[in-house]
Structure 1
Amino acid sequence: MGPIRVLIVDDHPMVRDGVAMLLERQPDMVAVGEAEDGAQALELFRQLRPDVTLMDLQMPGMGGLEAVAAIRAAAPDARILVLTTYPGDEQITRALRAGAAGYLLKSCIRKELIDAIRAVAGGRRAISADVAHELALHTADERLSERELAVLRLVAEGYANKQIAQQLDLSGDTVKAHLKSIFAKLNVDDRTHAVTVAVRRGYLER
């Protein structure tokens, strides 16, 4: 069996370089390619067919979640390990549902990353302790609906209730009802706090 062939996907060159140098020091791994966004990742995946794709989430153009889903659609047996800065439970859930086999934070130690790549290459899952803890914290929480998310995105953009109602073709009372439900689900008391919590948990992009 040859070395584990890894495709590195991240929009920051320094991150890609650092991961590539780390892989070079492993006797059983090799970096076969680097991509700076999701579209390039999909193209390189098709060309290179790596054993493991190391995927950042927030990138310009096609982001990581979309790329994970696209790669898995093209190759259902693809093994993708998310490596990101963001520990939000909703983002973690979306990545795993899209087909990621693992989820690590960039703050993880090098040994954890190397062990995770080996685990994913071997067909196992790899989720860091911090990520597992974040998921466990919100296991019983009710998720926001698509309509509630649409309302919250407009709140984050600074729209007032009346403007949100016009944008989404809803009544003012319906917008108020959605906001009440959002506040309850996120355990907050006001719009600003709702946006802050939604960003931290991965419902809204930073």
Structure 2
Amino acid sequence: MADDHPLIRAGLSMAFENDSKICIIGTADNGFDAIEKIEKTIPDIVLMDIDMPGLSGVAAISILRKKYPDMILFVLSTYNDRTYIDDSKASGASGYILKTISIESLSRLIVDIIDKKRIISPYVLYLNQ
């Protein structure tokens, strides 16, 4: 999980701490750090904020997509704006999740994505279909 806001990183880490189906294996506060950690751990799914200092989430996803074409890379963003969605799609993001989603819904969503289930949610856009 990569997000430049410590509260988001800590909050999601705490929220999933007792979740038997989800384990956060790394966090990052910028795109450069995210790439480095992802290369070391190769997670099943990545949640990446779109707007971070240094290297944006979109730029990081673009780099990761070239190295890991099958990796599940989701943008997790507050922005519900066509420009950000289009930029995310162009970078190779698998999907776009709005941060207005509840923890419970995000947990189910992550499990369903890993299980390759079709998701219909007002908080999620699939970008690679």
Same fold, TM-score > 0.5, yes or no: yes
Greater RCO, 1 or 2 (C-alpha within 8 Å, sep 6+): 2
Pair 1:93-2:86 in alignment: yes
Q: Which of 26, 31, 34 pairs up with 1:38?
A: 31
Shift in Å, 1:125: 6.5
User: Unaligned regions of 5+ residues in structure 2, if any?
Assistant: none
How far has the Cα of 1:24 moved from its partner? 1.3
Residues 21 and 81 (structure 1 numbering): CA distance in 2 closer, same or farther, change over 3 Å? same
> Secondary structure of the equivalent of 1:32?
coil
Q: 1:73 to 1:126 in 2, by over 3 A?
A: farther
User: Matches of 2:118 and 2:73 in 1, distance apart?
Assistant: 10
Look up the match of 1:137: none
**Residue of structure 2 equivalent to 1:66:** 59
Give the aligned partner of residue 8 of structure 2. Answer: 15
Counterpart of 1:122 (choices 115, 119, 125) is 115
What's the CA shift string for 1:52-96, capped at 9, x where partnerless? 111100001100100111111111011112111101012112212
- Tell me the amino acid that sits aligned with residue 31 of structure 2: G
1:109 and 2:105 matched? no
User: Whole-Å Cα distance in 2 between the matches of residues 79 and 130 of structure 1?
Assistant: 17
Instruction: Give the TM-score, by structure 2 length.
Output: 0.87
Measured against aligned partners, the alpha-carbon deviations of 1:179-200 in whole angstroms (never above 9, x if no partner) come to xxxxxxxxxxxxxxxxxxxxxx
How large is the Cα RMSD of the aligned pairs?
1.8
Between structures 1 and 2, the one with greater helix share: 1
Identity percentage of aligned residues? 34
Shift of residue 119, structure 1, vs aligned partner:
2.7
Unmatched tracts of structure 1, length 5 or more: 1-7, 133-206
- Amino acid aligned to 1:75: Y
Q: How many residues align?
A: 125
What is the distance in 1 between the residues matched to 2:90 and 2:38?
Answer: 20
In the alignment, which residue of structure 2 is the partner of 1:202? none
Q: CA deviation at 1:127?
A: 7.0
Call closer, same or farther: CA 1:128–1:93 in 2, change over 3 Å. farther
CA distance in 1, matches of 2:118, 2:64: 17
> Over residues 5-54 of structure 1, what are the superposed CA-to-partner deviations in whole Å (9 max), with x where a residue is unaligned?
xxx10011111011111111211111101100001111111000000111
Q: 2:47 aligns with which of 54, 57, 82?
A: 54
Return the alpha-carbon distance in structure 2 between the equivalents of residues 88 and 40 of structure 1: 26
Other-structure match for 1:157: none
